[in-house]
Amino acid sequence: MRFDIVTIFPGFFEGVFAHGIVRRAQAEGLIEIGLHDLREYAHDRHRTVDDRPFGGGEGMVLKPEPLAEALEGIGVCAKAERGAGWEQGSEAARERGTNRRSFDSLRSAPVAQDDKAASGTRVILLSAQGRLFTQQVARELAGLERVVLICGRYEGVDERINEIYCDMELSIGDYVLSGGELAAAVVVDATMRLIPGVLGNEASGEFESFGAADAEIDVDVEGVPRSQHGAGGLVDYPQYTRPAEFGGLRAPEVLMNGDHAEIRQWRREQQLRKTLKNRPELLERAELSAEDRRLLDAIRSGEKI
Ligand code: SAM
C-alpha cells in the first residue's frame, strides 16, 4: 500500500516514520510513503503557498494553485476526471501538473458515481471539520492501494481543493491542531498496522481496542492463545507483566493460574468495566452477548462477580 503526503513540512515526518513497526513495514516493502513538499509547486521567488482569506479574518489560507499542481504532479486527477479511470486520468493529471496548464475546467466534467469504490485510491483532506477518524475508517483505508493525505496549515486549505480533488475530510479528534502533519502521521500509523503482514501475527490487529467481536475472529489462528478476547467495539482489557508484585500492588492472580477459560472471562469483564468507566457511549453500539449484559448489570450494581 502507498501513502502520499502533501505538506509544507516534509521534514516533520523523518523521525515519525523512522521507528518501530512503520519503519519495518517500509523496509519490508509492505508500505511506501511518499513525501511531497508543497513549496516545490509554488513558482514565485518566495515560494508562496498561502494568502489572506477572502472576507477577512485571522491568519492565512493555503492557496489552491500549488496544491492542485502538487496533486496533479503525483498523479491525482480531479474527481470530475476520474470517470476515465484513475490511471488514464492520472496521465492527464501528471501532464497538466508538469506543464502547468489551466485548472479552470476541472469542475465541469461529470463525476462517475462508482469511481471512488473502483479506484483503490482515496484523496483525504486532514481537517478539524472532517468525519472522525476511527478504527473502522482505518480498516476501510487499509484495504486500499493508495491513500493521499493533504496537510493543511494556518487557517486551513482553500475549500475548492476539497471540492475538486478530495474524497473525504478526516479529523483525528475534536480539537484543533496547528497543522495536518500530526493527523497524517496518526492516519498512516493506525492504517498501516492493519495491512496483512505488517504486524507479526495476522490476528494481533484483531485482539485490540475497537476490534472485532470474538465470533468474527478465527480464534484458531496459529499462535493466538485462547485466553484472548475480541473487543467487539469495546476498549481492550488491562495488561500486566512481571514482576507479579509492584508498588504494593499484585497482578491479578487469575492471569497467573494458566486457566485460559477463566482468563478469558476475567478479560471480558475488564473490557466491559473499562468501557463503562471511560467510554460508556461505546456500549450503545457494541455487540453484547447475554453474558455480557449480565456482567454489565453486575458491574453497575456493584455486585461481586
Ligand atoms: N480554521 C480551522 C478550523 O477551525 O477548522 C483550523 C485550521 S488548523 C489551525 C490548520 C490545519 O491543521 C487544518 O487545515 C488541518 O489540516 C489540520 N488540523 C487541525 N485540527 C485537525 C484535526 N482535529 N484533525 C485533522 N487535521 C486537523
In a domain, 208, yes or no: no
Q: Is 171 in the pocket of ligand 1 (CB under 6 A)?
A: yes
Q: What is the predicted pLDDT for the residue at 272? A: 97
Residues 106 and 41 sit within 8 Å (Cβ to Cβ): no
Q: Is residue 109 part of a domain?
A: yes
Q: Are residues 32 and 97 in the same domain?
A: yes
Give the Å distance between the CA of 249 and the centre of ligand 1.
Answer: 42
pLDDT value, residue 144: 97
Q: For position 219, what pLDDT does the model report?
A: 52
Whether residue 130 sits in one domain with residue 84: yes
| Residue 83 near ligand 1, beta carbon < 6 Å | no
The model carries a pTM of 0.90
Grid cell 498496522 in the structure block, residue = 193
Helices 86-99 and 64-73, axial angle in degrees (round to 10)? 130
User: Are both 85 and 224 inside the same structural domain?
Assistant: no
For residue 227, is it within any domain? yes
* Amino acid in the structure at residue 196: P
Whether residue 225 is found in the same domain as residue 282? yes
Residues 183 and 109 in one domain: yes
The answer on 177 and 221 residing in a single domain is: no
CA of 88 to the centre of ligand 1 (A): 32
Total domain count, the chain = 2
Indicate if 176 and 252 belong to the same structural domain: no
Is 197 inside any structural domain? no
Full domain range(s) for residue 224: 214-300
pLDDT in single tens digits along all 305 residues of the chain:
999 999 999 999 999 999 999 999 999 999 999 999 999 999 999 999 999 999 999 999 999 999 999 999 999 999 999 865 555 556 666 666 555 546 666 655 444 343 444 469 999 999 999 999 999 999 999 999 999 999 999 999 999 999 999 999 999 999 999 999 999 999 999 999 999 999 987 666 778 899 877 777 765 545 556 677 778 889 999 999 999 999 999 999 999 999 999 999 999 999 999 999 999 999 999 989 999 999 999 999 999 88
User: Is there a single domain that holds both residue 218 and residue 167?
Assistant: no
| Count of other CB atoms within 10 angstroms of residue 203 | 19
For residue 242, is it within any domain?
Answer: yes
Is 305 among the domain residues?
A: no
- 163/240 same-domain check: no
The closest residue, in CA terms, to atom 22 on ligand 1 is 128
Lookup: cell for 36? 511531497
CA of 169 to the centre of ligand 1 (A): 10
State whether 184 and 271 are in the same domain.
Answer: no
- The pLDDT, as a whole number, for residue 200 is 80
| Atom 5 (ligand 1) nearest CA | 128
Residue 206 lies in a domain: no
Q: Are residues 144 and 229 in the same domain?
A: no
CA of 153 to the centre of ligand 1 (A): 7
User: By C-alpha distance, which of 216, 264, 215, 207 is closest to 234?
Assistant: 207
Read off the DSSP letter of residue 85: -
Q: What single letter denotes the amino acid at residue 128? A: A
Question: 8: Cβ below 6 Å to ligand 1?
Answer: no
Co-location of 227 and 183 in the same domain: no
205 within domain boundaries: no
Atom of ligand 1 nearest to the CA of 172: 24
CATH number at residue 260: 1.10.1270.20
CATH number at residue 133: 3.40.1280.10
How far away, in angstroms, is 303 Cα from ligand 1 center? 45
Cβ of 30 below 6 Å from ligand 1:
no
